[in-house]
Structure 1
């Protein structure tokens, strides 16, 4: 299932289940104007509990709004007895997570294969 982003399609979230984990694959630019599909996907995943892996390898940009959505999603998923893990952080997105210290809040995997392996 692909949840479209804003009308200009700058951001997308694909949701699927792989080996018992929910996998969210993010693409494009995650910012104030495009974060709502991510919030919706995280809320749905929190309702399921279990393991959630967010593939960020297709994300070109993430601002504080995107980071905030992920942090709130992590709390909701952990409150439901699940976990939220990140995979594929790279480029400016990885730098933002490193500078803010958010990379120490989430389990971070090099890629989806490592996360699911």
Structure 2
């Protein structure tokens, strides 16, 4: 399910798709995650937690950019999911996005997986 797009002109800057896979909601942002597009990711993540699916995987394989606003969205949703007994796993981060997590130390608070398949196996094994 497509949860929205934001862009300037004809160029889409962020698209977010959501699906359920096993016991996890898989949220897949594609494009640029920044202060202009962060709400497009925040809304489906929060909706998943509120609807009783606090087990989330963010498939970052098509995420081309993430700034501090995007990072804060992920950190706040992680706290909400954990408060509900869930978790947020990240999968398939591109080097430019992984670098943001490395520089800020945020990689230490997330379960990070090389692929979506690894993240699904880890989350469904819990």
Q: Give, in whole Å, the separation in 1 of the partners of 2:112 and 2:96.
A: 16
> Which of 78, 89, 92 lines up with 1:88 in the alignment?
92
| 1:21-32 to 2 correspondences below 5 Å | 21-32=24-35
SS in 1 for 2:60: strand
Aligned residues of 1:52 and 1:84 also touching (Cα < 8 A): yes
TM-score, normalisation: structure 1: 0.95
Whole-angstrom distance in 1 between the partners of 2:76 and 2:101 = 15
Give deviations 1:56-99, integer Å, cap 9, x for gaps: 01000000000000000001111111111100112210111111
Conservation of the 8 A alpha-carbon contact between 1:13 and 1:38: yes
TM value normalised by structure 2: 0.88
Larger radius of gyration: 2
In 2, Cα distance between equivalents of 1:71 and 1:55:
15
1:45 positional shift: 1.5
Runs (4+) of structure 1 exceeding 6 A deviation are none
Which 5+ residue runs of structure 2 have no aligned equivalent?
A: 122-126
Paired residues of 1:31 and 1:63 also in contact (CA < 8 A)? yes
Q: Which residue is equivalent to 2:14?
A: 11
Partners of 2:25 and 2:53 within 8 A in 1: no
RMSD: 1.1
Question: Which runs of 5 or more structure 1 residues have no equivalent in the other structure?
Answer: none
